[in-house]
Amino acid sequence: MSQRSGQIQIQDQQQIQTLSPQQILVVKLLELSKQELEERIHAEVLDNPALETEPNPTEAEEKDDFPEDNEGGSDVDDMSLGDYANEDDIPDYKLQEHNRSRGERVEEIPFSDTDSFYDVLKEQLAMQPFSEKEREIAEYLILSLDSDGFLRRDFLPMIDDLYINYGVDTDEVELEKILNAIQEFDPAGIGARSLQECLLLQIRRKPDSPLKKIEQEIIENNMDDFTRKNKERIMQRLGISEEIYAQALAELVKLNPRPGSALGEAIGKNFQQIIPDFIVEKDEEGNVQVSLNNWDVPVLRLSNDYKVLLEEYTKNKENQSRENKVAFSYYKQKVDAAQGFINAVKQRQHTLMVTMEAIVKLQMAFFEEGDEAQLKPMILRDVAEITKLDISTISRVSNSKYVQTDFGIFPLRFFFSTGYKSSESGEQMSAREIRRILQELVDHEDKQQPLTDDQLVDVLKEKGYPIARRTVAKYRKTLNIPVARLRRI
């Protein structure tokens, strides 16, 4: 008896959730800041003739611009023109007063009137005798620097990125050559891959002298001992006196460990000015009010010309030529895309508002008093539960968004932090509050006998904050507090 082997086909039903093009558009718009949204709107208007803008009209002007409802209705209803000829053409973020900035005033807050250090480096790049390929690689390296002016990425993933996304084929030798050229730019130390390299780049620009050689030897070959303040070991290795070491140390402490900040504090990528997306302020009665900063966000509407073309077709659709049908299909496609974009902008503005209102509700004490210590522990899930939105949506809203308050301008991420439960009261304490207490302990410690991490754990526990040692070490690092032995005087 022969046994037949064969394939068995099994049907398995799976439910896979995919995003529609409209949902993808909304997600992309959520990630944009106010300024980026304005740029995206202008680009969309240029690309789609069925979409029009009218900057900052009054509500009366908006209403006058729209035709009366079509009473005939039958043909228009067939074409779903009712969706395009009613008040949906008016963005509802302009129809709701609480979504306007107060007095429709411009809320652009310049933080610096200088160029970012990326722009300054690009100006120096323009003076280099680079080929077109080398210039493109150099610009990529400059944009890869962090806000301190350091290059903290490895060459290999950068090589892949350049090839895949920019079509530039390069290798480690060429990257090293171009990076070395960038490291000759001002300020000294820019483009370093470590603190040690940063300090060496600055030392090498000094005029030659015996003291320069000692400084270079300390950083190049004795960096670990230098950071640990083991001056006796360094003096013994270099064969120098304590006086010479003191002279070298006085010069080394003048070096800048953050060369990017030399061109202006708080300057980063594309940072010309911060335009807040939200305004939270008290009214005359002391109530906290939330509004979107919508100044200069154009009003979107469908082109009346395109709506007329569609209406004319529906009145004579039985006697249309093939060319007219093709034209109608084009008009309909553009109108659908325009309406979809208008709806996406509306949804973006609504999502931003409900998210900011939830943040204000959770952090009301801060928005009333401006005291950072009043900030409560808050994570993305807390806001998601109030708004009934997905956590990923809250995350997108919180990134790259700023809010103007009566106490200054803050990124939305400023209001999020984890919390710990106090052993005494059982209340949730903000991680930010724990860091503040940790900073106070270090500020008031005996500098002859600074507190170790274990001792800090014990003191915090006595105060009612049971924090693990690794957490104390993490917070100490985020506060730029050295270990105990380096705090000893």
Same domain flag for 132 and 247 = yes
Query: Which pLDDT belongs to residue 270?
Result: 41
Same domain flag for 476 and 440 = yes
Any domain includes 129: yes
Q: Would you say 321 and 354 are in contact if contact means Cβ atoms under 8 Å apart? A: no
Any domain includes 5: no
Cα(289)–Cα(279) distance, rounded to whole angstroms?
Answer: 8
Q: In the 8-state DSSP scheme, what is residue 239?
A: T
Same domain flag for 428 and 403 = no
Residue numbers in the chain where pLDDT is lower than 70: 1-19, 55-117, 262-273, 317-320, 418-432
Quote the distance between the C-alpha of residue 473 and its chain's center: 27
Same domain flag for 440 and 410 = no
Any domain includes 269: no
Any domain includes 83: yes
Cα(426)–Cα(167) distance, rounded to whole angstroms?
Answer: 57
Q: Would you say 379 and 413 are in contact if contact means Cβ atoms under 8 Å apart? A: no
Cα(137)–Cα(442) distance, rounded to whole angstroms?
Answer: 45
Cα(432)–Cα(454) distance, rounded to whole angstroms?
Answer: 20
**Which SS3 state, helix, strand or coil, does residue 162 take?**
helix
**Bridge partners, 420 (sequence order):** 429
Cα(4)–Cα(22) distance, rounded to whole angstroms?
Answer: 51
Quote the distance between the C-alpha of residue 441 and its chain's center: 32
Same domain flag for 284 and 205 = no
Same domain flag for 39 and 98 = yes
| Residue 452 domain boundaries | 419-487
- Per the listing, tokens 């106070």 go with 440
pTM of the model: 0.49
Query: Which pLDDT belongs to residue 308?
Result: 81
Query: Which pLDDT belongs to residue 422?
Result: 53
CATH, residue 427: 1.10.10.60
Query: Could you give phi then psi for residue 328, rounded to 5 degrees?
Result: -60, -40
The total number of structural domains in the chain stands at 3
* Cis bond before residue 210 (omega within 30° of 0): no
Any domain includes 270: no
Query: Which pLDDT belongs to residue 88?
Result: 39
Q: What is the DSSP string of 411-476?
A: EGGGG-B-EEE-TTT--EEEHHHHHHHHHHHHHTS-TTSPPPHHHHHHHHHHTT----HHHHHHHH
Return the structure tokens found at 129: 């005798």
Query: Which pLDDT belongs to residue 418?
Result: 63
Cα(485)–Cα(489) distance, rounded to whole angstroms?
Answer: 9
Any domain includes 292: yes
- Which residue type, as a one-letter code, is found at position 175? L
In 3D space, the residue among 101, 103, 113 whose CA is nearest the CA of residue 404 turns out to be 101
Query: Which pLDDT belongs to residue 110?
Result: 41
**Bridge partners, 408 (sequence order):** 405
Any domain includes 3: no
Beta strands in 56-144, from DSSP E residues, in sequence order: none
* Torsion from C-alpha of 163, 164, 165, 170, nearest 10 degrees: -10
- Which residue type, as a one-letter code, is found at position 310? L
In 3D space, the residue among 214, 245, 217, 216 whose CA is nearest the CA of residue 229 turns out to be 245
Helices H / strands E in the chain, number of each? 23, 8
Same domain flag for 232 and 131 = yes
Domain boundary, last residue among 369, 389, 416: 416
User: Greatest CA separation found in the chain?
Assistant: 102
- Per the listing, tokens 């005494």 go with 424
- Per the listing, tokens 């209803």 go with 77
Same domain flag for 321 and 388 = yes
Q: Would you say 451 and 443 are in contact if contact means Cβ atoms under 8 Å apart? A: no
> In which order are the strands placed within the sheet that holds 402-405?
288-292, 278-282, 402-405, 408-411
Query: Which pLDDT belongs to residue 6?
Result: 55
Same domain flag for 231 and 295 = no
Same domain flag for 258 and 144 = yes
Any domain includes 1: no
Same domain flag for 426 and 299 = no
Same domain flag for 294 and 375 = yes
Integer CA distances (angstroms), 286 to 148, 369, 375, in order: 41, 11, 19
- Which residue type, as a one-letter code, is found at position 146? D
Cα angle for residues 180, 181, 183 (degrees, 5° grid): 65
* CB-based burial, 342-370: b 16+ in 10 Å, e otherwise: bbbbbbbbebbbbbbbbbbebbeebbbee
Quote the distance between the C-alpha of residue 51 and its chain's center: 29
